[in-house]
Amino acid sequence: MAEAPRMPIESGVPDPIQYMHPTMRRNYGQWAYHDRPRAGVLHHTSKNNEEIFTVRCGTARQMDVYTIKKLADIADEYADGYVRFTMRSNVEFMVADGSKVDALVSALTEAGFPVGGTGPSVTMISHTQGWLHCDIPGTDASGVVKSLMDEMHEEFTREEMPNRVHMTTSCCQINCGGQGDIALNIQHTKPPKINHDLVSMVCERPTVVARCPVAAIRPAMVNGKPTLEVDEKKCICCGACFPPCPPMQINDPENSKIALWIGGKNSNARSKPSFHKLVASNLPNNPPRWPEVGAVVKNILSVYKEDARDWERVGEWVDRIGWPAFFEKTGLPFTKFHINDWKGARHELNSSAHIRF
């Protein structure tokens, strides 16, 4: 008799304890220290003198059933059968016996899964849904990640950066823009093109009007049909109108560009959290390999790797050398668009969680 399907849980995520390795459950909250025997391998020792090794490998975010089964088979044969998927599309295998680590690393490498992403390395790039799942993407975030990591995977398998480098890619600038040491984000540079024949049949016009953050959309009549119009002097080309009203097409192969931001940081280590800042805009949204974007990212990483001090994150490195030196060292052009001239901008935003007396 087939097992009845599990009922959905409506009160949050499932209890993670039940999926933990037994060694982790026994020593929960009792870890004394950890170290990194090699790139991609974490070694934790508990106050009870028990050990556990975590081997991290990189994968694509979208995986077929064959790939998932392959990872599960490796876990059963070479590890202890326990895995976890991280938010950066990594898979971590837990083993309590250190003698299994080398065989596990070899099996993952031979199967095409690079082992790394720990310590001062380029971690796997977190990304949004892209063309595969999202209904409003301006670019394919997962495709950009694939292209970049094809060229930078060696920095994932080595720990040769001054500090960890967290990178993010986002399909649009209204829903999924993420902070990161290096962040890629699509920017629409032209107002939406409106298909007036479809608006009345597809869109709930009051909802679309309310969705605009700068009140640039208003009801209109075109050819006797109720529709919408955009005040282009107010429009900031954010694309917020496109999700509730697809006939207001904002994507444009010529005028939707990729922008590159650096210096975002969520941690409190050494310095307070910080927002990333624009360093390159108007980069071509050029699938399937986005070579122009890759060239700029690799250039910044190369200069950072050579010039930053140990433990400096990208933003901390720039704070030390100054923005003029950053643009000089990287050769990126500095334009008027890098200056925040909005009257409401704060000179400094205290986003620190530090407590000082």
Q: Which two tokens stand for residue 248?
A: 């207001």
Question: Looking at residue 128, what is its pLDDT?
Answer: 84
Q: Is residue 355 part of a domain?
A: no
Q: Positive or negative, the Cα torsion across 201, 206, 212, 214?
A: positive
Q: How confident is the model at residue 352 (pLDDT cuts 50, 70, 90)?
A: low
Structure tokens at 12: 């949050």
Nearest-angstrom CA–CA distance, 292 and 196:
35
Find the CATH number of the domain harbouring 321: 3.30.413.10
The answer on 173 and 309 residing in a single domain is yes
Confidence of residue 60 (pLDDT cuts 50, 70, 90): confident
**Contact in structure between 238 and 317 (CB atoms under 8 Å):** no
Helix and strand counts by DSSP (H, E) for the chain: 9, 14
Beta-strand pair 90-95/51-58: antiparallel
Range of the domain at 43: 17-111
Number of domains in the chain: 3
- In this prediction, residue 3 carries a pLDDT of 83
Can you give the pLDDT at residue 345? 59
Q: Indicate whether 310 and 183 sit together in one domain.
A: yes
53 & 86 share domain: yes
Q: pLDDT value at position 327?
A: 96
* DSSP assigned state of 336: G
Q: Can you give the pLDDT at residue 357?
A: 45
User: Mean pLDDT across the chain, nearest whole number?
Assistant: 90
> What are the helix (H) ranges across the chain?
22-26, 65-78, 101-110, 141-157, 196-202, 205-211, 291-307, 314-321, 323-330
The CATH number linked to 205 is 3.30.70.20
Residue pLDDT, tens place only, 272-323: 998 899 999 999 999 999 999 999 999 999 999 999 999 999 999 999 999 9
**Do residue 146 and residue 285 come from a single domain?**
yes
Is residue 322 one of the residues assigned to a domain? yes
pLDDT in tens, 89-127: 899 999 999 999 999 999 999 999 999 999 999 999 988
- Going by their DSSP bridges, the two strands 90-95 and 126-127 should be labelled as unpaired
Taking the CA atoms of residue 281, residue 284, residue 285 and residue 291 in that order, the dihedral angle to the nearest 10 degrees is -110
> Which of 229, 5, 223, 245 lies closest to 135, judged by CA?
245
Q: Is the pLDDT of residue 347 over 60?
A: no
Sequence-distant (≥ 6) Cβ neighbours of residue 129 within 8 angstroms: 137, 141, 142, 171, 176
Provide the pLDDT for residue 4.
86
Furthest C-alpha separation in the chain? 79
